[in-house]
Amino acid sequence: MALTLLSKRSSLLLLLLILVLALAGFLRLWQLDSIPPGLYPDEALNANQALEIAATGEHRVFFPENNGREGLFFSLVSFSFVLFGVSVFSFKLVGALAGILTVLGQYLLSREFFQGLGKRLPLARSMALLSAFFLAVSFWHINFSRIGFRGILTPLALVFSFFFLLRGLRTKRLQDFLFSGLLFGAGFSTYISFRVAVLPLAFLLAMGLILAIQQKWGKRYIIGTALLLVACLLTALPLAFYFLEHPEYFFSRATGVSVFSTENPIFAFAKSLGQHLVMFNFQGDTNWRHNFAGAPQLFWPVGFLFLVGLGASVWRLGRAKALLFFQREKTREVLLPFALHGFLLAWFFALLLPGALTFEGAPHALRVIGAIPPVYLLAAFGACLVWERLSRFCRPAALVLLALLVAGSAGATFHKYFNSWASRPEVQGAFTKRFVDVGTILNELPEEKIAYVAKTEGDLPTETVKFVQAAAGRENARFLEKEELSSFPFRPGDLVFFMNKDWENAEEFQNRFPKAILKEYERFLLFEL
C-alpha cells in the first residue's frame, strides 16, 4: 500500500514537473520573434558573428569586438541558423532553450539540495518543484531568455555543474564529478561573471573533502575531485590560451566600470553592493532592456519568501557553525547542513560581486544573472518554512495560499511581461526598434534598388540593419562612413538613411543636395536624391 501511494505521488510530481517545463517553454517561446520589439545592436552583432561562423565553419573562443565576448553562445546560434535558417526566431531560440533547460536544472539541483538537508524524498521533490516553478515564471529570467545575450548560458552551466557535484557527493559516483567538471569548465565560455563561481565551487569542494573523510571515502573523493579539476581545465583550456596570448581582453569592459577606477573604491563598492542587495525586493534594475525599469526583480510574494529563506539559511549556517565549534566529534548531521547552507550563501553572494564591483548601471540585473538560481532556491526554502508553520494551524488555508501563489505568480508575470512591459514605448527605444524599421524599409525596396545608410554613430547601430537584411536574404544596403558623405558620388534616385534623426550631419548633407526629398520618420531620416 505504501509503495503504491509513493508511486502515485512520484507520478504526480513528474506530471507537475512536465507542466512547469511546458509553462517555462510557453513563456520563453511565445511571440519570440516579435517580443521584445526590436533588436538591440549588441544582439545584432552577436547574430551577425554567428552568421559568419555558419558561413565559414570557423568557431572562435573569444570575440574581441564590442568590449570582448566569450564565443560559446555564437557557436550555438550558428548551429541554430544552419538547422532552422536565418531569422530573429532562430537567433533567439538558443537563449530560450537555454532558459527552459535551466528550469529543469533548477529542479534537479534543488532536489539534491533539499534531500541533502534531510528532507524526505517526496518533500524534497515538492520543494524542488516549487523552486523550478519560481524560476519558470520569473520575469527576470524570462526576459534574458528572450534576448540574444550570451549571459543566459551562465545560470544553465551553474545549475547543472553544481547538480552533478552535489549528486556526486551523495552517490560517490566518479562520472558525476567528471560531468560537473566538464560543465563548469564550459561555463567560463559563457559570460565574464561566471569566473567568480570558483568561490562557491572551492567552498563546496573543501566541505566535500571533510565530509568524505568523515564518511571514510576520502581516497575516492580525491580521485573524483581530480577528475573534476582536470575536466574543467581541459574544457576551459582554449579560452585560457587565448587570454595568455591576449591578456588585455581578460577583463575587457569590466575595467572601465570597475569600482577600483573611482576615487573612493570602498565607498563605491559599499554603495553598489547595497543597491544590489535591495534589488530583489525594493529598487530593481532601471534599464528597460533588463527589467520593468525600477521594479523589484522578484514578484513581491516570492520576494518575501526569498527574505524568509535567506534569513533562515544564514541562521542555520550560524547554528551549524556553533555546533561544529563546540562538538568534539564532527557528525554528518552537523557537517552537511553547514556545507549546504554555506555553499548556497557563497553562491548567492559571490555571484552578486560582478555587479557590486561595478558602479555603472547599478543595480545591474545582467551582471548578476548567475545569482538567479540560488535566489529562487532560497525562495523555495522560505516557502517550505512558511508552509510548515501554516499547515500546522490550518492545512486547507495553507493549500489555498499556495494555490493563490502559484496562479498569481504565473498570471502576474504573463501580464507584466507580455502586456505592460512589451507595449511600453521605452522598451521599443531600449531595443532600438527604429533600426529594425530601417532594415524593414530596405527589404521592401526592389532588389535592384541600392540604398545607403550613414554610419554617423559608428558601426554598431548598423549591425541591426545588416541582420534584418540577412534574415530576409537581402543585401541592397551600402554603409558609408561619416567622412564619405561629403564626397561620395551619389546619383539621382539614391536613398540615404540617417538613423536617430541625426540632424547635424543631415543638414550638411541637405546643403550638398538641396533638391533632395526629405522624409522624416519617428526616429530616423530618409533622403531621396
State which of 395, 426, 457 marks the end of a domain.
426
State which of 426, 447, 477 marks the end of a domain.
426
Integer Cα distance of 38 and 403 in angstroms: 36
Joined grid coordinates for residue 205: 569542494
Q: pLDDT at residue 417 above 90?
A: yes
DSSP 194: G
Q: Are 501 and 360 contained in the same domain?
A: no
Q: pLDDT at residue 1 above 70?
A: no
Per the DSSP assignment, residues forming a β-bridge with 499 are: 524
Summarised one tens digit per residue, pLDDT across range 179-195 is 999 999 999 999 999 99
**What pLDDT score was predicted for residue 232?**
97
**What pLDDT score was predicted for residue 352?**
97
**What pLDDT score was predicted for residue 445?**
86
Coil vs helix vs strand at 454: strand
Is 68 a domain residue? yes
Q: Are 74 and 95 contained in the same domain?
A: yes
Is 1 a domain residue? no
Among 45-59, 236-250, 419-433, 484-498, name the one with the lowest average pLDDT.
484-498
Q: Are 405 and 470 contained in the same domain?
A: no
**What pLDDT score was predicted for residue 43?**
96
Averaged pLDDT of the chain: 91
The residue type of 371 is A
Q: Are 149 and 108 contained in the same domain?
A: yes
Q: What is the mean pLDDT of residues 412-431?
A: 95
Q: Are 214 and 180 contained in the same domain?
A: yes
pLDDT band at 2 (very low <50, low <70, confident <90, very high): low
**What pLDDT score was predicted for residue 88?**
96
Q: What is the mean pLDDT of residues 288-298?
A: 96
Integer Cα distance of 92 and 89 in angstroms: 5
Beta strands in 408-508 (DSSP E): 451-455, 477-481, 495-499
**What pLDDT score was predicted for residue 522?**
76
**What pLDDT score was predicted for residue 4?**
60
Q: What is the mean pLDDT of residues 93-106?
A: 98
Q: Are 378 and 518 contained in the same domain?
A: no
Integer Cα distance of 208 and 170 in angstroms: 10
Range(s) of the domain holding residue 344: 8-426
**What pLDDT score was predicted for residue 301?**
96
Q: pLDDT at residue 255 above 80?
A: no
**What pLDDT score was predicted for residue 48?**
95
Q: Are 222 and 335 contained in the same domain?
A: yes
pLDDT band at 370 (very low <50, low <70, confident <90, very high): very high
Is 140 a domain residue? yes
Is 483 a domain residue? yes
pLDDT band at 121 (very low <50, low <70, confident <90, very high): confident
For residue 175, how many C-alpha atoms fall within 13 Å in the half-sphere facing its CB? 0
Among 76-85, 264-273, 386-395, name the one with the lowest average pLDDT.
386-395
Summarised one tens digit per residue, pLDDT across range 316-332 is 888 877 766 666 555 66
Q: What is the mean pLDDT of residues 61-80?
A: 92
Q: What is the mean pLDDT of residues 505-513?
A: 83
Is 409 a domain residue? yes
Torsion of CA 410, 415, 417, 423, to 10 degrees: 170
pLDDT band at 529 (very low <50, low <70, confident <90, very high): confident
Q: Are 52 and 170 contained in the same domain?
A: yes
Is 357 a domain residue? yes
Per the DSSP assignment, residues forming a β-bridge with 358 are: 258
Q: Are 457 and 360 contained in the same domain?
A: no
Q: pLDDT at residue 356 above 80?
A: yes
Is 101 a domain residue? yes
Q: Are 159 and 118 contained in the same domain?
A: yes
Q: Are 480 and 455 in contact (CB under 8 A)?
A: yes
**What pLDDT score was predicted for residue 253?**
64
Q: Which of 357, 19, 10 is nearest to 199 (CA)?
A: 357
Is 2 a domain residue? no
**What pLDDT score was predicted for residue 227?**
97
**Better-predicted residue by pLDDT, 282 or 119:** 282
Joined grid coordinates for residue 112: 539534491
State which of 380, 397, 426 marks the end of a domain.
426
Query: How many Cβ atoms sit within 10 Å of the Cβ of residue 286?
Result: 16
Q: pLDDT at residue 491 above 90?
A: no
The C-alpha angle with vertex 415 and arms to 284 and 105, in degrees rounded to 5, equals 70
DSSP 145-204: HTS--GGGHHHHHHHHHHHHHHHHHHH--HHHHHHHHHHHHHHTTT-GGGGGGHHHHHHH
Q: Are 376 and 442 contained in the same domain?
A: no
* Proportion of the chain above pLDDT 70, given as a percent: 96
**What pLDDT score was predicted for residue 331?**
65
Domain count, the chain: 2
**What pLDDT score was predicted for residue 500?**
75
**What pLDDT score was predicted for residue 233?**
96
Q: Are 397 and 273 contained in the same domain?
A: yes
